Structure 1
Amino acid sequence: MKTDKKLLNITFLGTGTSQGIPMIASNDPVCLSKDFKDKRLRSSVLISSDDASYVIDCGPDFRQQMLRENVQLVEGVLFTHEHADHTAGLDDLRPYCYKIGEMPIYLNKRTLESLEQRFQYIFSKENRYPGAPSVQPTIVDNQSFKLGNLNVTPIQVLHGNLPILGYKIENIAYLTDVKTIATSEIDKLKNLDVLIVNALRLEAHPTHFNLEEALDFVAKIKPKKTYFTHISHKLGFHKEVSKNLPPNVYLAYDGLKITS
C-alpha cells in the first residue's frame, strides 16, 4: 500500500534552558556532571527530509551547533518567540545566506518587531550593513503554510502571559517555553507521531511546564512518542530522571537524532 507520509529527521541541536547546562558559576552537581547528556546548549532543533532542511530557533549557541552537526544547508528558520535564547544566533545565518541568498524566516509580528530593533543593521533598508545576513520574513499566526512540500501548522501557546508559537510539521509537534495552551490548540495536536515539549524542572515555574505539568500534557495529547527539551539543571541528572519516565516518554539530549 502506498503512503504519502513524509519521513522527517529531527536533530536536537540543543536541549537546555536559557542559561544552558552547565550554568555559569554554578557548583550544582548536575552542572558538574561528566555525562555528556547533562551538557545542554540552548534549545533548537533541525528538521530535515530528503529535500528540505529547516531549524526551529537559532539561539546564542547556533554557530557551535551547526559546526558540531556539520550542517551544510539551512533553508529557513521558524522562530517561536523573541527571547535571546531563541534568537541571538541570527547573525550566524550568514554562511547559509551565501549559499541560498535571502533566508526565509517565519515568526509572529511581535517577534519580527523585536528583531528589527535588536538587529537593526540586518533589517534596515537605509543603513543595512553589507555583510549582514539577508532575511525574508513571513508573518505566521493561525494559518497553516508550506515549507517546501512540508505542511506546517502554527500552535498558539502561552509562555507565562506571553503569546508564542509552537509548530506542527507533518505529524511532529515542537512546543517550547509552554506554560498553558488553549483547548482549541490542543485539538490540533491529536494523533501525533512525535511530541517535543519543554519540561524545565521539578518545582513549579511561572512561565514553563515543570515535569509534572509536562507529563500531564503528554497524557492529554497521547502522542506515540514524546521527547522533553528546554531542561534546566534543576530537573536532575539525565540518567536518573529517565529511569522514572513513563513508556515512550524520553529526555532529549544534545545531538540526539530521531526519524519519524
Structure 2
Amino acid sequence: MKLKFLGTGTSQGVPVIGCKCKVCTSTNFKDKRFRTSALVTSDFGKKILIDCGPDFRQQMLDNDEAHVDVVLITHEHTDHVIGLDDLRPIIFRNKKDMPIYTLPRVAKQIKDKFHYAFAEIKYPGAPSFEMHEINIEKFKVENIEVTPIHFLHYKLPVLGFKIKNLCYITDASFFPEETLEMLKNLDVLIINCLRKLPSHISHFVLPEILELNKILNPKKMYLLHISHEFGLHDEVQKELPKNMFLAYDSLEIEF
C-alpha cells in the first residue's frame, strides 16, 4: 500500500498570505505546503482520502490523481472539510454517492455545512454523500481494515486512522493512555508538529514530539501540519533523529 501526502501545512498554508519570512519566500518546493490531507492507495488500486480541505482540487491536479473511492474525516475544522464540494466531478463520474466516514458529531456538522448535498430535492449539480458514523473499534472500507484512534485537539475529540501498521494523526495535543498503547512500535507514525517552540494549546510542538518518539518507538515518524514558524525544511531535517522526517507535499511512502 502507499500513502501520498497531498498537503502538509497548517490551516493558513505555507506560504502565508503577506508573510516575507525566509520560509514563506523560500524557492524550495518542500517549503510550499498545502493544507493537510493524504491519499492512501491500496494494493488493488482503491483510493482512500483522509480529510478534504480547501486545496483539494489543486492537490489532485498537481498529483495527477483523478479518483477517490471513500473519504475519512478526522474532524470538522474548515481546513479539513471545506473541499468536500470539489469531489463533485468524481461523484458524477462514479454515478454514486461518495462514502464519508467520521464521528457522529462531525457527520452532523458536515450535513449542516453542505445541507444542499443532503436535500430531498437536490439542486442540479450538487454533490451527494453517503454518511457513515464511526462508533465502533474497527471498520472496513474497500476491504481494508481501519482502526479509529481517539485523541484531543485541545478539548475537541478528533480521530486518527490506523491502517496495517501505519497510523495517521493530525491536530493532536493530548493522547489518553489507551491511545498511547495503541501507538507503540508502529512501522510508520504520521503526526502533527506545528513548530519548534513555543508550546501551543491545540497542537504538538517539537519537544513534545521528540518525547513521544522515545515513548512510542516507531520505526519511522513523519511530521505534518507544519507552520512557517518551524523553519526551512532542509535545515530542520538535519536536526531531527534518524527515524524522524519532515513530510512534504507529494511525498509518497509505502507501508
% identical aligned pairs: 49
Matches of 1:102 and 1:144 in 2, distance apart?
Answer: 22
Superposition TM-score, scaled by structure 1 size: 0.94
| 2:116 is aligned with 1:121 | yes
Per-residue CA shift, 1:195-219, capped at 9, x if unaligned? 1000001220000001111221222
1:215 paired residue among 210, 220, 230:
210
Cα deviation 1:27-79 (Å, max 9, x = unaligned): 22211111110000000000002322111000000000011111122100000
Deviates more, 1:133-142 or 1:56-65: 133-142
Alignment correspondent of 1:132: 126
Q: Does 2:237 match 1:242?
A: yes
Cα distance in 2, alignment partners of residues 187 and 116 from structure 1: 34
Deviation at 1:141, TM superposition (A): 3.3
Q: CA deviation at 1:190?
A: 2.7
After TM superposition, the structure 1 stretch with the greater mean CA deviation from structure 2, 206-215 or 183-192, is 183-192
Give, in angstroms, the shift of residue 92 of structure 1: 0.7
- Deviations for 1:101-136, whole angstroms, at most 9, x for unmatched residues? 1111000011111111111111223x4323111111
Q: For residue 142 of structure 1, report the CA deviation from its aligned partner.
A: 4.2
Partner of 2:139: 145
Aligned: 1:160 with 2:154: yes
> AA paired with 1:32?
T
Give the corresponding residue for 1:5.
none
Aligned to 2:33: 40
SS in 2 for 1:235: coil
User: How far off is 1:99 after superposition?
Assistant: 2.7
Is it true that 1:98 corresponds to 2:92 in the alignment?
yes
Unaligned runs of 5+ in 1: 1-7
- Distance 1:241-1:187 versus aligned 2 partners, 3 A rule: same
Query: Aligned to 1:199, which of 190, 193, 203?
Result: 193
Please point out which of 50, 65, 69 is paired with 1:75: 69
Q: Matched residues in 1 for 2:75 and 2:181: separation?
A: 22
1: distance between equivalents of 2:201 and 2:136? 25
Q: Give runs of ≥4 in structure 1 deviating > 3 Å.
A: none
Shift in Å, 1:191: 2.9
The partner residue of 2:184 within 182, 185, 190 is 190
SS in structure 2 of the partner of residue 116 of structure 1: helix
Query: Cα RMSD (Å) of the superposition?
Result: 1.1
Structure 2 CA distance, aligned partners of 1:142 and 1:247? 36
Distance in 2, matches of 1:43 and 1:172, equals: 17
C-alpha separation in 1, matches of 2:251 and 2:139: 27
AA paired with 1:117? Answer: D
The match for 2:174 among 180, 185, 189 is 180
Kept after mapping to 2: 8 A contact 1:44/1:57: yes
> Which deviates more, 181-190 or 234-243?
181-190
Native 8 Å contact 2:184 2:215 kept in 1: no
- Aligned counterparts of 1:240 and 1:258: Cα–Cα separation in 2: 22
Q: Quote the offset at 1:149 in angstroms.
A: 2.2
Distance 2:83 2:156 in 1: 21
Letter in 2 for 1:247: K
1:3 counterpart residue number? none
1:170 and 2:183 aligned: no
> Normalising by the residue count of structure 2, what TM-score does the alignment of the two structures yield?
0.96
